[in-house]
């Protein structure tokens, strides 16, 4: 097993908060809220998104960066986890129509109904289609989680456990209870949820499994585009790549996440000179053109398997979602073309 790391760059072996009625504009006055114990441990960005239904995540991030939204009188990062007794300053902000009042396109309703692959009292697992954003944001008025809430108005609580990029397909977890969400976030931080992806990489893979242990740092370019890069002072990030099927100039790989950083697989793949097929942000343009000619229309990155122990029920849950038909067709084209 080969091993990569940053050191060498070389191979080595308030009262209880209730969301406002978002069908009317929010008050034009600053609001103060106190965090109650049942909300402790939630990320501030997720909590504000829950309170301010209909406000895009991009707006919430701006509120935090600018200091419009504050905790105990100070600025905090989006990843800050709120504590009992924290005092939140929430600025006046216009909210869109309630998600429960939005019209979800019929194609999206059908796609999401078909996407549910697992359900229990605490958790939903969906096989997310590529091209569907997990939440509203820049250029997106309705994401998967908003659509899901609109389709299940009887459910008081639905929150993303983690995220997948818009172009990534596969297994996505949604919590149905706040205490389950907090527990699952703790399990993710502790590495107690196993996540494995399937991805197509440029080039023919040599050898067996490889560990890539390269810290990652997220930067924002002048254009406003968010990019992630390898940095010795970045957050620890580790991916294990293992071959599944080899072609002359491409490789179908299994990528197991030991940590779960933004764009981790995509950036690690570039750093070992095997970029992900269809990756317009970090990938190889020439390789992507060849893959488009073979029918690839999205990022070839699929969340294949998630395994965990239910924090409340204690049962082992293993969820597997197979490659979508469009990605299987690309593999068939690769076999036929001997590329």
Catalytic residues: 165
SS3 88: strand
Number of Cα atoms under 13 Å in the Cβ half of residue 248 = 7
42 vs 47: CA distance, rounded Å: 6
244 vs 338: CA distance, rounded Å: 16
Nearest Cα residue to 271 out of 259, 256, 283, 258: 283
DSSP 224: S
119 vs 53: CA distance, rounded Å: 24
SS3 255: strand
Query: Please, what is the angle between helix 144-151 and helix 106-115, to 10°?
Result: 90
Residue 175: which residues within 8 A CB-CB, separation 6 or more? 122, 123, 157, 158, 159, 160, 161, 181, 184
117 vs 87: CA distance, rounded Å: 39
Nearest Cα residue to 5 out of 231, 321, 309, 189: 231
Tokens of 235: 């957050």
């Amino acid at each position: 097993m080969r091993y990569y790391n940053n050191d060498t760059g070389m191979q080595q072996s308030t009262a209880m908060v209730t969301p406002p009625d978002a069908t009317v504009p929010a008050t034009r006055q600053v609001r103060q809220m106190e965090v109650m114990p049942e909300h402790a441990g939630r990320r501030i960005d997720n909590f504000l998104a829950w309170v301010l239904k209909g406000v895009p995540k991009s707006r919430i991030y701006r509120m935090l960066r600018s200091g419009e939204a504050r905790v105990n009188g100070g600025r905090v990062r989006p990843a800050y986890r709120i504590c009992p007794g924290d005092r939140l300053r929430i600025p006046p902000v216009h909210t869109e129509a309630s998600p429960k009042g939005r019209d979800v396109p019929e194609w999206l309703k059908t796609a999401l109904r078909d996407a549910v692959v697992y359900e229990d009292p605490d958790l939903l697992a969906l096989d997310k289609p590529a091209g569907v954003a997990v939440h509203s944001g820049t250029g997106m008025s309705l994401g998967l989680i908003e659509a899901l809430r609109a389709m299940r108005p009887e459910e008081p609580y639905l929150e993303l456990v983690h995220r997948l990029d818009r172009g990534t397909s596969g297994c996505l977890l949604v919590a149905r209870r706040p205490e389950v969400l907090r527990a699952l976030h703790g399990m993710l931080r502790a590495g107690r949820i196993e996540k494995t992806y399937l991805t197509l990489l440029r080039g023919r893979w040599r050898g067996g499994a490889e560990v890539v242990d390269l810290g990652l740092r997220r930067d924002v370019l002048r254009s406003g585009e968010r990019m992630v890069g390898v940095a010795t002072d970045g957050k620890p990030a580790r991916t294990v790549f293992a071959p599944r099927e080899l072609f002359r100039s491409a490789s179908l790989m299994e990528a197991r996440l030991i940590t779960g950083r933004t764009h981790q697989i995509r950036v690690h793949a570039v750093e070992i000179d095997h970029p992900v097929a269809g990756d317009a942000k970090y990938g190889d343009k020439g390789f992507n053109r060849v893959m488009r000619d073979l029918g690839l229309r999205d990022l070839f990155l699929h969340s294949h398997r998630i395994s965990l122990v239910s924090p409340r029920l204690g049962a082992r849950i293993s969820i597997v979602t197979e490659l979508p038909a469009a990605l299987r067709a690309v593999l068939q084209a690769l076999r036929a073309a001997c590329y």
